[in-house]
């Protein structure tokens, strides 16, 4: 492949590094905001005497999904361990939420 073909492919590419960078920064900000909201609702529920099973299960589900993708990419055992523990926590918290609502 000569230099002209490479340049043409690069120009034809709809997504450039800037777009990818903005997307990544947006995801990071969204993740931080989500985490802060989860913490806020858990603390609020503690002070008002409510359970936080649903919020905690959603958070663990997000963590599990993130670490599953990290493990698939890197095959590092720590990511697999976090994924498995997050899945267990997700299931337990979800079942506790369902049990609490139905009782």
**Residue tagged 């985490």 (tokens):** 35
Q: Going by C-beta distance under 8 Å and a sequence separation of 6 or more, which residues neighbour residue 89?
A: 56, 57, 60
Cα–Cα distance, 11 to 101 (Å, whole number): 55
The pLDDT tens digits for 26-70 are 999 999 999 999 999 999 999 999 999 999 999 999 999 999 999
22 confidence band (pLDDT: 50, 70, 90): confident
pLDDT number for residue 42: 96
Cα–Cα distance, 4 to 1 (Å, whole number): 8
> Is residue 67 a contact partner of residue 86, using CB atoms and an 8 Å limit?
yes
pLDDT number for residue 12: 67
The pLDDT tens digits for 67-99 are 999 999 999 999 999 999 999 999 999 999 999
Helix boundaries (H) for the chain:
3-12, 17-48, 53-74, 77-102
Sign of CA dihedral 24, 26, 29, 35: negative
14 confidence band (pLDDT: 50, 70, 90): low
């Amino acid at each position: 492949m000569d230099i002209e073909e490479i340049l043409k492919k690069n120009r034809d590419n709809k997504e450039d590094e800037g777009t990818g960078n903005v997307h990544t920064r947006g995801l990071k900000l969204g993740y931080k905001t989500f985490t802060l909201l989860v913490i806020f609702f858990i603390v609020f529920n503690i002070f008002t005497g409510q359970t936080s099973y649903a919020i905690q299960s959603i958070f663990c589900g997000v963590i599990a999904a993130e670490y599953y993708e990290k493990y698939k990419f890197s095959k590092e055992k720590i990511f697999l361990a976090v994924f498995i523990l997050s899945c267990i926590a997700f299931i337990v918290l979800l079942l506790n939420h369902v049990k609490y609502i139905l009782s």
